[in-house]
């Protein structure tokens, strides 16, 4: 059998059967993991960001231990890589990439956007990050420090963006509505009203 | 395995090994090629994790310290300008005192 020419659905069925036969994971456990993965979306990350903007104690926890912060909001993190949170400030902007492949904080952001895994994004993020941001319509002042975070190993990283001006007095629910997927990768910046 | 046995303190200057295991046979590497041989500064110890280079082949995997290491972009690319930086997770086995 040439594994490269075997239909992927047959390979998948074979792997599922082997996992069950070898007692590694039952069909129910696989189904449960798929359900958890499918139910994750950027709305979860946005809710964490909005809470960090409105609750200083949660912000502190999120920056110190992203996994604990996610769990405290009901996100299942058991068995997943630790979540690290990068704080954007008026001085520093973070941009996340995985040059090796596709490491992504799926538990809090869901499936990565299609471009996140593209060779072009992965190469440009480390080689020409400011040019890449311009292509995303994001302008970073020349005096602001830009830090690219290459997610290569055991952590998964998300960005805690700067709260936009003009949102004073907003509720966490209102604020969460402003936060987009790209804001938590660092390719965009949340826009105020 | 110099960097693997000692705990590197934040602020320590380190050099990523100039090594290309992929030229010697099948392997799994988490150290991006663009950093090999370059000098950076340890920002923090992120924890200790089984070496993915062994896990990928289902071999016994020694637990290695994992560090966040910061590199100036201008040191990596000939056309880079300014003070921008890149922060990367690297295992102690890839780091040498600089």
A133, containing H or E segment: helix A129-135
Same domain, A22 and A65: no
Distance (Å, rounded) from C-alpha A162 to C-alpha A164?
A: 6
A159 within some domain:
yes
A15 within some domain:
yes
| Averaged pLDDT, A125-133 | 96
B75 within some domain:
no
CB pair distance less than 8 Å for A129 and B84? yes
Confidence (pLDDT) at B80: 87
CB pair distance less than 8 Å for A155 and B31? no
Domain extent, residue A117, equals: 41-185
Same domain, A46 and A112: yes
Same domain, A28 and A78: no
Catalytic, out of A102, A118, A139, A171: A102
Confidence (pLDDT) at A175: 98
- Could you read off the pLDDT of A162-192 as tens digits, one per residue? 999 999 999 999 999 999 999 999 999 999 8
Confidence (pLDDT) at B4: 54
CATH code of the domain in which B24 resides:
2.30.30.50
Same domain, A78 and A149: yes
Domain extent, residue B17, equals: 2-69+85-97
A104 within some domain:
yes
- Could you read off the pLDDT of B10-31 as tens digits, one per residue? 999 999 999 999 999 999 999 9
Which residue in B22, B32, B48, B51 has the most chain A C-beta atoms within 10 A of its own C-beta, making it the best mutation to test that interface? B32
Same domain, A102 and A33: no
Confidence of residue B1 (pLDDT cuts 50, 70, 90): very low
Q: Assess whether A72 carries a catalytic annotation.
A: no
Spell out a b/e string for B44-70, using b for 16 or more CB atoms within 10 Å of the CB, else e: eebeebebbbeeeeeeeeeebbbbbbb
Confidence (pLDDT) at A37: 86
Confidence (pLDDT) at B34: 97
Q: A130: which chain B residues are within 8 Å (Cβ-Cβ)? A: 84
- Could you read off the pLDDT of A142-166 as tens digits, one per residue? 999 999 999 999 999 999 999 999 9
CB pair distance less than 8 Å for B30 and A146? no
Q: What percent of chain B is modeled with pLDDT above 70?
A: 94
Confidence (pLDDT) at B7: 87
B33 within some domain:
yes
- Residue window 51-70, chain A: list those with CB within 8 Å of chain B: none
Write down the ipTM of this complex: 0.93
CATH code of the domain in which A164 resides:
3.90.330.10
Indicate whether B3 pLDDT > 80: no
Tell whether B48 lies on the interface with A, counting CB pairs under 8 A. Answer: no
The number of domains in chain A is 2
A179 within some domain:
yes
Distances (CA, A) of B33 to A99, B20, B22, B66: 10, 8, 10, 18
A164 within some domain:
yes
Same domain, A76 and A147: yes
- Could you read off the pLDDT of B62-87 as tens digits, one per residue? 999 999 999 999 999 998 888 999 99
Region of residue B70 (phi > 0: left; psi between -120 and 50: alpha; otherwise: beta): beta
A1 within some domain:
no
Same domain, A135 and A124: yes
Same domain, A15 and A75: no
Indicate whether A132 pLDDT > 50: yes
Confidence of residue B5 (pLDDT cuts 50, 70, 90): low
Confidence (pLDDT) at A148: 98
Q: B46: which chain A residues are within 8 Å (Cβ-Cβ)? A: 84, 153-155
Q: Assess whether A151 carries a catalytic annotation.
A: no
Confidence (pLDDT) at B12: 96
The number of domains in chain B is 1
Same domain, A64 and A106: yes
Same domain, A74 and A145: yes
Distances (CA, A) of A129 to A52, A85, A97, A141, B73: 26, 19, 10, 13, 10
- Could you read off the pLDDT of A68-115 as tens digits, one per residue? 999 999 998 988 999 999 999 999 999 999 999 889 999 999 999 999
């Amino acid at each position: 059998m040439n594994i490269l020419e075997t239909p992927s659905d047959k390979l998948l069925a074979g792997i599922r059967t082997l996992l069950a036969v070898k007692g590694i994971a039952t069909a129910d456990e696989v189904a449960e993991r798929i359900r958890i993965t499918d139910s994750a979306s950027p709305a979860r990350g946005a809710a964490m960001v909005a809470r960090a903007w409105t609750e200083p104690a949660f912000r502190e926890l999120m920056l110190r231990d992203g996994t604990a912060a996610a769990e405290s909001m009901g996100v299942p993190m058991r068995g997943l890589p630790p979540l690290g949170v990068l704080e954007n400030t008026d001085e520093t902007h973070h941009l996340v990439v995985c040059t090796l492949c596709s490491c992504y904080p799926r538990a809090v952001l869901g499936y990565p956007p299609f471009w996140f895994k593209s060779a072009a994004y992965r190469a440009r993020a480390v080689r020409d990050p400011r040019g890449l941001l311009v292509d995303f319509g994001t302008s970073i002042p020349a005096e602001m420090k830009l830090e690219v975070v290459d997610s290569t190993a055991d952590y998964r990283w998300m960005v805690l963006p700067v709260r936009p001006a003009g949102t004073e007095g907003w509720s966490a629910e209102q604020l969460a509505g402003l936060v987009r997927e790209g804001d938590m990768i660092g390719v965009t910046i949340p826009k105020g009203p | 395995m110099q960097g693997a046995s000692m705990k590197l303190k934040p602020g320590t200057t380190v050099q990523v090994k100039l090594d290309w295991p992929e030229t010697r046979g099948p392997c799994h590497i988490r150290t991006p090629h663009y950093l090999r041989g370059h000098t950076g500064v340890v920002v923090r110890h992120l924890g200790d994790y089984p070496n993915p280079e062994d896990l990928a082949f289902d071999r016994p995997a020694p637990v290695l310290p994992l560090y966040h290491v910061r590199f100036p972009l201008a040191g990596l690319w000939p056309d880079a300008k300014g003070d921008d930086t890149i922060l990367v997770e690297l295992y102690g086995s890839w780091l040498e005192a600089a």
